[in-house]
Structure 1
Amino acid sequence: MSTGRSEDVETAFVAVGSNLGDRLRLLRSAAADLDRAPGVAVEACSSIWITAPVLPAHLAGHSQPHQGEFYNGVLRLRTTRSAPDLLELLLEIERRHGRRRAESASSGPPRPRTLDLDLLLFGELTTSGPRLTVPHPRLGERHFVLEPLCELVPDLVVPGRGASVRDLLAALRRRDVDPAPPGASRPGRLKVPPEQWCPPGPARSPKT
């Protein structure tokens, strides 16, 4: 198992999302910021999917604040950063784009977000803590994560899950046959192909 040490070159997957402002511009800007950061190279991007905002299950019955649809995608990175260091970079990029997680993490219904950057996978690392949990704990519950992730790595076995991304997505689709439980996400629709929002360059090494 990978230790996530900074001297290792790891493959990481990051979910990106926005439902406020110029969403496509925000996602392009976030991907560019990541690609410019020392120790990071963007290798590939999924298509962008559009999904409706969903209330978490514990808030079923609350009114949903009016907000726009989410633009969601996934980036594949190569990085020499550790997992905690990469997470801090993601939070810093969110802040640069106007995201305030303290407000979004309140007990009420979720507010519109200028930018969401979530660390989904980091090599073979499995860890759970107050600041960092990898794989992302709700990875298997979200169409807006699994659909774009499956575009990039359908056969990747998710560490600690014993199932591939393709299998997790198939299981989620089977659950869609039944009435959706509160907080369930539904499949989105394709909006923007990868080359139109995050064209990867030739194979690159992370910058020092």
Structure 2
Amino acid sequence: MEKVFLGIGSNVGERILYIKNALNLLSQILTEIQTAHFYVSKAVGFEDQPDFINTAISGYTDLEPYELFKKVKDIENKVGRIKRFRWGPREIDIDILFYGSLIIEKDDLIIPHPRIHERDFVLKPLSDLDPDFVHPVLKKPVKELLLNLKEKSIISNLQLSTL
């Protein structure tokens, strides 16, 4: 079993419901899931769109990285993701952030996610889960990457009583 970290976001429609549905489906392929706080953040890349709700989860899997990637994409489709354009609006977006300390650089899969260190809406939830986790490429803990981040997109912490 390998520990993995996934980033989850939504900025279309019933954002919380999409995330809850994704978490439910992810619980079928991961064990010991822990969920970070939820954050509201401005869109990055293409900024003329609604704010995102973002979180991250950690869990364990016996799936190989490509199998996990395929399952994650299947879950996005089941939840209702509509393909639009790069960095466009998303009903649900699930990214593999880390797969243990594994490093994969292929055309169709890059782990760790290549822009983790640039995004507070990824680093802050990761820090909620495991601030001392060391990025296997950058060789720095998540909390240090967050501390050194210049640009911020998080607007607020979303207080939810239950998931």
**Shared fold, TM over 0.5:** yes
Distance, in Å, in 2 between the alignment partners of 1:49 and 1:16 is 11
| 1:143 and 1:188 in contact (8 A); partners too | no
Alignment of 1:57-76 (within 5 A): 64-65=47-48, 67-76=49-58
Moved over 3 A (4+): none
- Structure 2: which 5+ residue stretches go unaligned? none
1:130-141 maps to which residues of 2 (within 5 A)?
130-141=107-118
Does residue 16 in structure 1 map to residue 8 in structure 2? yes
Greater per-residue strand proportion: 2
Q: List runs of 5+ in structure 1 lacking aligned partners.
A: 1-8, 57-63, 177-184, 198-208
Verify the 8 A CA contact 2:4 2:97 in the aligned structure 1. Answer: yes
Tell me whether 1:84 sits opposite 2:74 in the alignment: no
Aligned partners of 2:18 and 2:32: how far apart in 1? Answer: 16
Q: Is the 8 A contact 1:139 1:146 kept in 2?
A: yes
Does residue 29 (structure 1) correspond to residue 21 (structure 2)? The answer is yes
Residues 115-142 of structure 1: CA deviation (Å, up to 9, x unaligned): 0000000011011011110110000000
**Match of 1:181?**
none
The alignment's TM-score, normalised by the length of structure 2, stands at: 0.93
Distance 2:147 2:98 in 1: 19
1:44-59 to structure 2, matched below 5 A, reads 44-55=34-45
Counterpart check, 1:104 vs 2:85: yes
Matches of 1:139 and 1:18 in 2, distance apart?
17
Identity %: 29
Quote the offset at 1:69 in angstroms. Answer: 1.1
Question: Aligned-pair RMSD on alpha carbons?
Answer: 1.6
Match for 1:148 among 100, 112, 125?
A: 125
| Cα deviation digits, residues 160-191 of structure 1 (max 9, x gap) | 1110000100110xx24xxxxxxxx4233110
Q: Which position in structure 1 is the counterpart of 2:92?
A: 115
Whether the 8 Å CA contact 2:39–2:158 is kept in 1: the answer is yes
1:190 and 2:151 are equivalent in the alignment: no
Q: Is the 8 A contact 1:11 1:77 kept in 2?
A: yes
Deviation at 1:112?
Answer: 1.3
Q: How many residues align?
A: 163
CA distance in 2, matches of 1:44, 1:99: 23
Instruction: Give CA deviations for 1:78-104 in whole Å, capped at 9, x if unaligned.
Output: 000011110111100111122134x33
Match of 1:104, SS?
coil
Hey, what's the Cα distance between the residues in 1 that align with 2:2 and 2:155?
A: 29
Q: Do 1:50 and 1:188's aligned partners in 2 also have CA atoms closer than 8 Å?
A: yes
Give the TM-score, by structure 1 length. 0.74
Please state how far the C-alpha of 1:12 moved relative to its aligned partner: 0.2
**Structure 2 Cα separation of the partners of residues 116 and 68 of structure 1:** 14
Q: How far has the Cα of 1:42 moved from its partner?
A: 4.5
